[in-house]
């Protein structure tokens, strides 16, 4: 382990970025915990615990500003490495072959039980799950719930669309990343301690604009053709990941700025936490302060992401069987987890056994269910592609996260 950067395999021409592998695993793991929490909070979700309360909402609100941004940032890094390896045409084909089967199978089979449980718990339908499946596939809409739907698989849908949209521009993007952008990062590196404030505020400017002028008009819906604010945020952070993927200067700035980035993240996190803990009525007549915290939320998210990168580069640089197993398993875990949470929660809710027993049962069932599901999927060739794995077993099927060669 070294504070100067990730460990590498000296025999590899393009050594794998283990720190980013670990961050990807952590990001998906937090997503599983977050969706478990959705069963217990007062926010709208597919099924709800009879003990739903505001208790977990504070911690979940502190995760919300950066958990998905981190995932899309890492996706942008992976796109850069994969596109450089395959070339534009093969990259487009690879993304369609790898992601489209996941979306189609997921909508038809994996996600369907979530909709059934949601409609059953609200009393809209009384059919069993097998009777409901034809209705799910053919109705188009049931009590304003669009069917079939992709629910939590919206991330895969959006990622595929972004890959196809960006593919024709990959040569231009690569030229920008390796030319003007990398030179900009080199100048930033020479700023020394001033580099972090610049890195915190300048990339946040587009998100300030989205928050002021786009977000109020386009609330997040995960409707692909009407989710413009969400697209603006996710595509921008994905492009950031693409641009910095092979910039040694950017990663050196992250290494050197970790203590200050951590300080910024803690301060902005504390301020944001204070703001969300205030009663709604306290904000009456304080529009300027309210907007200051709305924009500060963006800085907090970016500071948290930079801090996580710095910590990962210092402490998560090791390889081993756990990293290799989880790197392959995490995408099938992601595909399966929400359906397991929803179904277990649906059957637990009428028992009224208490919030903590519900929580531990759901967490345990989700871990066991995802693990068993992955172990089955990885051994059944016909199931591998619809869960994001390659046809033939081999090295990790996750996108290879590798740094630029020394000559770049």
* 263: its two tokens: 């300080």
Of 109, 82, 111, the C-alpha closest to 98 is 82
Least confident of 291-300, 355-364, 398-407: 398-407
Establish how many alpha carbons lie within 13 A of residue 105's alpha carbon, considering only the half-sphere containing its beta carbon: 16
Least confident of 131-135, 294-298, 360-364: 294-298
Sort 406 into a burial class: Cβ within 10 Å, 0-12 / 13-18 / 19+: exposed
Of 100, 99, 139, the C-alpha closest to 119 is 139
d(CA 72, CA 92): 18
Q: What is the mean pLDDT of residues 3-32?
A: 71
Q: What is the mean pLDDT of residues 84-106?
A: 95
Percentage of the chain modeled with pLDDT above 70 = 92
- Give the model's pLDDT for residue 8: 37
Residue of 398 and 69 predicted with greater confidence: 69
Least confident of 13-17, 190-194, 249-253, 332-336: 13-17
Mean of the per-residue pLDDT values of the chain: 89
* 357: its two tokens: 């027993």
Residue of 220 and 401 predicted with greater confidence: 220
- Give the model's pLDDT for residue 39: 97
d(CA 103, CA 387): 9
Tell me whether the omega of the peptide bond preceding residue 19 falls within 30 degrees of 0, making it cis.
no
Count CB neighbours of 160 within 10 A.
17
Q: Residue 317: pLDDT above 60?
A: yes
The confidence band for 401, taking pLDDT boundaries of 50, 70 and 90, is: low
């Amino acid at each position: 382990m070294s504070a100067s950067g990730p460990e590498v395999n000296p025999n590899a021409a393009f050594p794998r970025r283990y720190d980013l592998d670990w961050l990807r695993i952590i990001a998906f793991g937090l997503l599983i915990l977050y969706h478990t929490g959705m069963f217990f909070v007062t926010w709208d979700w597919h099924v709800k615990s009879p003990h739903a309360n505001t208790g977990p909402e504070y911690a979940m609100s502190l995760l919300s500003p950066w958990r998905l941004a981190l995932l899309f940032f890492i996706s942008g890094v992976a796109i850069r490495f994969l596109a450089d390896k395959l070339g534009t045409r093969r990259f487009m084909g690879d993304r369609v072959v790898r992601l489209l089967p996941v979306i189609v199978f997921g909508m038809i089979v994996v996600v369907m039980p979530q909709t059934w449980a949601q409609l059953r718990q609200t009393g809209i339908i009384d059919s069993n799950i097998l009777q409901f499946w034809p209705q799910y596939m053919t109705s188009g809409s049931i009590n304003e719930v669009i069917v079939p739907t992709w629910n939590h698989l919206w991330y895969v849908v959006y990622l595929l669309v972004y890959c196809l949209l960006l593919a024709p521009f990959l040569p231009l993007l690569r030229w920008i990343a390796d030319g003007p952008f990398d030179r900009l990062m080199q100048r930033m590196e020479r700023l020394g301690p001033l580099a972090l404030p610049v890195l915190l505020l300048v990339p946040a400017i587009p998100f300030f604009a989205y928050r002021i002028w786009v977000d109020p008009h386009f609330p997040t819906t995960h409707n692909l053709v009407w989710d413009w604010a969400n697209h603006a945020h996710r595509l921008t952070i994905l492009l950031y990941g693409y641009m910095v993927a092979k910039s040694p200067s950017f990663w050196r700035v992250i290494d050197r700025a970790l203590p200050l980035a951590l300080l910024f993240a803690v301060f902005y996190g504390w301020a944001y936490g204070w703001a969300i803990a205030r009663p709604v009525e306290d904000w009456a007549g304080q529009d300027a302060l309210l907007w200051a915290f709305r924009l500060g939320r963006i800085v907090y998210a970016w500071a948290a992401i930079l801090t996580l990168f710095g910590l990962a580069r210092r402490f998560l640089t090791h390889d081993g069987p756990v990293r290799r197993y989880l790197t392959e398993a995490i995408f099938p875990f992601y595909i399966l987890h929400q359906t397991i949470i929803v179904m277990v929660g649906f059957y637990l809710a009428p028992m009224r056994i208490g919030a903590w027993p519900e929580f531990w049962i759901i967490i345990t069932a989700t871990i066991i269910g995802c693990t068993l599901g992955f172990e089955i999927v990885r051994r059944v060739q016909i199931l591998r592609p619809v869960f994001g794995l390659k046809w033939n077993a081999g090295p990790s099927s996750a996108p290879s996260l590798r740094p630029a060669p020394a000559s770049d």
